[in-house]
Amino acid sequence: MLGLLNGVADWLLSRGIRQWSIGFTAEKMAPIIERGELYVVREGAAAVATVTVSENGDADFWTPEERAEPARYVGKLATAREYGGQGLGALLLRWAVDLGARQGARWMRLDAWRTNYQLHDFYRKAGWDHLRTVELEHRRSGALFQHPAVSDLVARSALPER
């Protein structure tokens, strides 16, 4: 999983996108794994895609009223480059929306890198609404997107949990 995330981070950096330029370490990811927020799609033993789904919204971006609503927050959506362009990332995003619905959320939310407009387009094409962009000096993320948490039996059956 670290190899997958760092591989995508390197690929982004090679395209001039410094979104994940600090990289991922076991120490950084351990709390996410321990809370059960990390989901991995595997082909055999290889991690080919990943996403996190959390109950906790980032206070830098989401208002106290928004964080009080039943919501889940999506992050670290990544697909191994050899699977790029095949729709796996979009399917995993749909799966996360379905997971949020099963967990009782009303909304699925995420914050994206402010200047990664291609990523913004990806989320819009996947049915997510851009709510606003928060610009903070100490953060480069802040393009906020939201999607209703709805059941998606097709995504659930395509990516069954084990």
**Mean pLDDT score across all residues of the chain:** 91
Longest Cα separation, the chain: 42
Q: Answer with the residue of higher pLDDT: 16 or 120.
A: 120
Distance of alpha carbon 98 from alpha carbon 106, whole angstroms: 11
Per the listing, tokens 């990544």 go with 78
Model pLDDT, residue 7: 82
Cα torsion 134, 118, 155, 1 to 10°: value is -80
Per-residue pLDDT reduced to its tens digit, 70-122:
999 999 999 988 888 889 999 999 999 999 999 999 999 999 989 889 899 99
pTM for this predicted structure: 0.89
Cα torsion 57, 58, 60, 64 to 10°: value is 30
